[in-house]
Amino acid sequence: RALVERRGHHTPQEYPFAIDASFEHLSKTKDVENALGALGFTEELERSAKKKVRAGLGKMRGRRYRKRKGILIVIGESCPLEKAAQNIPGIDVVMVNALNAHVLAPGAMPGRATVWTTKALDSLEKNKLFTN
């Protein structure tokens, strides 16, 4: 938790935790926002919604705004949550077999706030992903 907060994320007191697999079946953006707010990520959603005007020439090259990275949700298999969460700023939804350093540590800074579903953890163990 200390590593995640050092990166700038706002996490609930009982972080880290895994959420139920039924979370993957949410199909509306508002339902996902309400569920994350109920878990204690309200401040994090507000933090990642802010965008900042970039300094330098990047403004002229089509990269005017810098957006913050928010919560990473790791799921077990393809589900409606992928489409429902794409409109929430800063949130990324990734299948467990597609995890890589780019999504876990954007900008080469480890400690991204990550929420795992139980189905993703089961898939991680069953397929023996990322172990030798």
With a cut of 80, say whether residue 38 has pLDDT above it: yes
| The residue to which tokens 């991680």 are assigned | 124
What is the rounded average pLDDT of the residues 63-82?
94
pLDDT tens digit sequence for 42-55: 999 999 999 999 99
Q: Is residue 98 helix, strand or coil?
A: helix
**Helix (H) and strand (E) counts in the chain:** 6, 6
Contact 24, 12 (CB under 8 A): no
Predicted confidence band of residue 29 (pLDDT cuts 50, 70, 90): very high
Threshold 0.85, pTM exceeds? yes
Q: What's residue 131's pLDDT?
A: 78
Q: What's residue 69's pLDDT?
A: 93
